[in-house]
Amino acid sequence: MMRYLIGLLAALTLGALPALAQNSGPLRIEITEGVIEPMPFAAPDFVADSAAAQEVSRDITGVIAADLSGTGLFREIPRDAHVSRITSFQSPVQYADWRAINAQVLITGSVRLDGSDRLVVQFRIHDVFAGRELGDGLQFVGTRAGWRRIAHKVADQVYSRITGEGGYFDSRVVYVAESGPKDQRAKRLAIMDYDGANVQYLTDSSSLVLAPRFSPTGDRVLYTSYESGFPRIYVLDVASVGRRALPTLDGNMSFAPRFAPDGRTIVYSLSQGGNTDLYRMDVSGGQSARLTSAPSIETAPSYSPDGRQIVFESDRSGAPQLYIMSAGGGEARRISFGQGRYGTPVWSPRGDLIAFTKQSGGRFHIGVMRTDGSEERLLTASFLDESPTWAPNGRVIMFTRETRGAQGEARLYSVDISGRNLKQVETRGGASDPSWGPLQR
């Protein structure tokens, strides 16, 4: 596993540029608003000190632009519309030239390659109409091979300075890569950048694998595998790709595992005698504690970010609905009351919302509701949408969409919690069961 050396250095102290204008308020996108006119930005190639650096610069600015445009909140002004070129990172920016093409945000930067492998990227974000920098300039240092991570980090800075939300571009997703016909589908675990780049396979497809879940720091993955002939829970170390089966209780089927925020405890489903209940155990091994004991199905558990509660799916009322109970088990309260069947609840990392799958009127939806079940909002509708996962900032949801019929295939999609910006995530071939990891450090 490649380790990237990225140092976030102190803000550049290169002398503040004079403010040229004081019109308009601060540059800002409120992403809770309904309809958004994407904010136009310009991202000219970062200034490079060599031909090799020029190549990296073009790649980096391309990824920055793709990250920002991909949110649906920003719109890149094409390079051929630019009337000014940035030839020196240090020189004052001619804001009038960027105002002339209606760029509201300008990202400038420099790229330097030290030796063969060390990449140094500096950048500044400009509020063009205010004629000043938005926050401080920053420098990232990494390896040349790690250029994508640096680009994502720059884009995260732009995104969070303008939206006031945490970024999510420098993050990874673990998922199930699928191939082969529907009745003989081969599945294996894969990990990729949030945008589909840098795919790495973590298992071969000799055994059916399901529903991987990142640990809170992204260093480990819990998943279900049929390696033994029966569904069992495994934990895999991402760096070494080493894996081991967890010693779940007697009874030969365990599945739907998920980490607690402490990264040590897990909650999962165990089927015994046809009955599926929730259990908790320490991931380092040891005792399982039973959390539910009802004759109904209890599955798809997910912890609240403070680790005190668990939201899960149960058909104790007759059809699958969502419930919340204490992390130690005990009485559960039902939170879903709409028409239809609810499943796979996932607590937002911000704690405010629960994403879920809803089956209603022959269609599947991804939706969100508040933790008391109020303000239910359906974000998608299709033949089969399921398995939502949250971006680290709690603003975007990725999920599985499967098309119908004999040629049906699963793909990953993402959507804002407003329901806007539904789009497919690029993967080679079929993909399902995404789990979005944390923002990388």
Partner 1 sequence: MNWAGKMGFTSKTVILCAGLALAACSNPDRFEGQAGLGAGNGGAGGAGMSGSAQDPTSGAYFQQAIGDRVLFAVDQSTLSNEAQATLDRQAQWLISNPEYDAIIEGHADEQGTREYNLALGARRANAAQEYLVSRGVAGNRIEVVSYGKERPLEICSEESCYRQNRRAVTVLTPRAGS
**Residue choice 26, 92, 164, 181 for contact with partner 1 (CB under 8 A):** 181
319-358 residues near partner 1, rule: CB under 8 A: 319-320, 341, 343-344, 357
When asked if residue 398 is in the footprint of partner 1 (CB under 8 A), the reply is no
Sign of dihedral through CA atoms 193, 195, 198, 200? positive
Q: What is each CA distance from 163 to 36, 109, 159, 387, in whole angstroms?
A: 12, 21, 6, 27
- Least distance from C-beta 338 to partner 1, angstroms? 16
Q: Helix, strand, or coil here: 148? A: helix
Q: Which is nearer to partner 1, 4 or 226 (CB)?
A: 226
When asked if residue 156 is in the footprint of partner 1 (CB under 8 A), the reply is no
**With 0-12 CB in 10 A as exposed, 13-18 as middle and 19+ as buried, what is 106?**
buried
CA 333 to chain centre: 29
Q: How many residues bind partner 1 (CB under 8 A)?
A: 52
253-272 residues near partner 1, rule: CB under 8 A: 253, 255-256, 269, 271
Q: Which is nearer to partner 1, 32 or 293 (CB)?
A: 293
Q: Which is nearer to partner 1, 151 or 397 (CB)?
A: 397
When asked if residue 230 is in the footprint of partner 1 (CB under 8 A), the reply is yes
Q: Helix, strand, or coil here: 394? A: coil
Report d(CA 56, CA 34) in Å as an integer: 37
237-256 residues near partner 1, rule: CB under 8 A: 252-253, 255-256
When asked if residue 204 is in the footprint of partner 1 (CB under 8 A), the reply is yes
When asked if residue 299 is in the footprint of partner 1 (CB under 8 A), the reply is yes
Report d(CA 9, CA 314) in Å as an integer: 49
Please count the residues of the chain. Answer: 441
DSSP tag of 62: H
When asked if residue 229 is in the footprint of partner 1 (CB under 8 A), the reply is yes
3-state secondary structure 269-327: EEEECCEEEEEEEECCCCCEEECCCCCCCEEEEEECCCCCEEEEEECCCCCCEEEEEEC
**Residue choice 206, 287, 293, 424 for contact with partner 1 (CB under 8 A):** 206
**Residue choice 66, 100, 101, 186 for contact with partner 1 (CB under 8 A):** 186
When asked if residue 231 is in the footprint of partner 1 (CB under 8 A), the reply is yes
Instruction: List, as one string, the DSSP characters of 329-384.
Output: EEEEEE---SSSEEEEEEE-TTSSEEEEEEEETTEEEEEEEETTS-S-EE---BS-
When asked if residue 75 is in the footprint of partner 1 (CB under 8 A), the reply is no
When asked if residue 203 is in the footprint of partner 1 (CB under 8 A), the reply is no
Which residues form the interface with partner 1 (CB under 8 A)?
Answer: 179-186, 204-208, 210-211, 226-227, 229-231, 252-253, 255-256, 269, 271, 273-276, 297, 299-300, 313, 315, 319-320, 341, 343-344, 357, 359, 383-384, 386-387, 402, 404-406, 408, 433
